[in-house]
Amino acid sequence: MPSIKKSDFDIKKDSKVFAEFFAGIGLMRMGLESAGWKIAYANDIDPAKEYMYRRHFEDKQDHFHLGDIHQLPGDAVPKVMLATASFPCTDLSHAGRREGLAGKQSSAFWGFVRVLDEMGENKPPVILLENVVGFLTSQNGKDFHSALSSLNELGYSVDAFIIDASHFVPQSRVRLFIVGRLEANENIAEEKQLSFYESEIRPQKLANFICDHPEINWNIKSLPNLPKRKSQLSDIIEDMPDDSEAWWNEERVQYLLNQTFERHRVLLDEAKKGTEYTYFTAFRRIREGNSMAEIRSDGIAGCLRTPKGGSARQILIRAGKKGISVRLISPRECARLMGADNYKITDNINRDLFGFGDAVCVPVVTWIAKHYLNPLLIEIKESTENLKEVVNAN
């Protein structure tokens, strides 16, 4: 008979209450709230993000706690049904130094694990983690394996899947998600028959990892196909007058065009002849020692980034009506690309761009909540009630 603790029944199993770690500007919260969840606790270390968070939500109850997760005691976190963690990707990203979970920033993951451990019997029944896909291959897969194993040791069986935000918004933003479910029994090492097939959200590399590591306590769930995006880049463009200072002068525009590849310049020149505007995005990259402007022409923006350097600012190009105009993507456009259309923009462009570039895509989180988390709560409630009947009968 499975071992059960009294604390398993102290929380309402259908109560959609959550705590968010690495809360940022609150886009994880926005996605969950759209699926019926309620915030109980939030933590982040960045004062600038805290400012944006508080300014947007204007909560009557103060649940945002600014501070380093490594200094956060587990008993400071209230009892919740779900804990989320979009921990720093800096050391896991292909664009970073790839120091992995031992890196200065991404090691914050271990702070999250410690907090869960210190919560003891109050550990949330469900956890949701989010990071870049580089997490899967960091240190040749050792970091991913270590992270999942540590969650197993806390009592969580795990699932993993990958979603590109371009299914929801006109932005290419591929992210890896992990869902952990706290098992009712304490023996998480028991053998399970792993039945798994490669799918849209579990591409070959992830599928291979799962099948190659049966020692991990997996709990793989079937999910529906991702939706087809209904919007294009042109749909999120902020209406700016032609004489706005945001648009670059002719000299700066020509400098950018001279940095483009010939095949991209042909596309722009052709679009310039159109009677309507066509929109493109670009990032500056170093290619063979030269600064080049790489143009994206598939109707979606590249992945938003934090503006730590000049190359991280995404460029918007408008071609048509016999002209080519260029400017940087605006904070409002970033909000729309993240599915946070009505988010309150501040008076600091860099702060806004940093906040959105370091966040999660709202409709992606809502989809996960509706198709995974909410059904999982029902499943947990039903299984808990069945276990109670077994305990009472004995």
| Tens digit of each residue's pLDDT (9 = 90 or more) over 280-336 | 999 987 777 778 889 999 999 999 988 764 456 899 999 999 999 999 999 999 999
**pLDDT tens, residue by residue, 236-289:** 999 999 999 999 999 999 999 999 989 999 999 999 999 999 999 999 877 777
Of residues 110, 109, 208, 108, the one with CA closest to residue 160:
208
The per-residue pLDDT for 161 is 97
The per-residue pLDDT for 224 is 94
Secondary structure of residue 21 in the 3-state scheme? strand
| This prediction's pTM | 0.89
Query: Does residue 250 come out as left (phi exceeding 0), alpha (psi in the -120 to 50 range) or beta?
Result: alpha
Q: What is the mean pLDDT of each run of 10 residues along the chain (394 residues)?
A: 37 76 96 97 95 93 92 93 85 53 65 94 96 88 92 96 97 96 57 63 92 92 94 95 95 94 92 95 81 90 78 87 96 97 93 93 98 94 60 43
**Mode of pairing for the β-strands spanning 17-21 and 38-44:** parallel
All domains of the chain in start order, with CATH: 6-226+357-393 (3.40.50.150), 239-329 (no CATH)
Q: How many CB atoms lie within 10 A of CB 288?
A: 5
The per-residue pLDDT for 190 is 41
Judge contact between 20 and 59, C-beta under 8 A: no
The per-residue pLDDT for 228 is 95
Q: How many CB atoms lie within 10 A of CB 122?
A: 16
The per-residue pLDDT for 15 is 83
* Alpha-helix residue ranges (DSSP H) falling in 80-230: 108-119, 134-137, 142-153, 204-212
* Alpha-helix residue ranges (DSSP H) falling in the chain: 27-33, 47-57, 108-119, 134-137, 142-153, 204-212, 250-257, 262-272, 331-337, 349-357, 362-368, 374-393
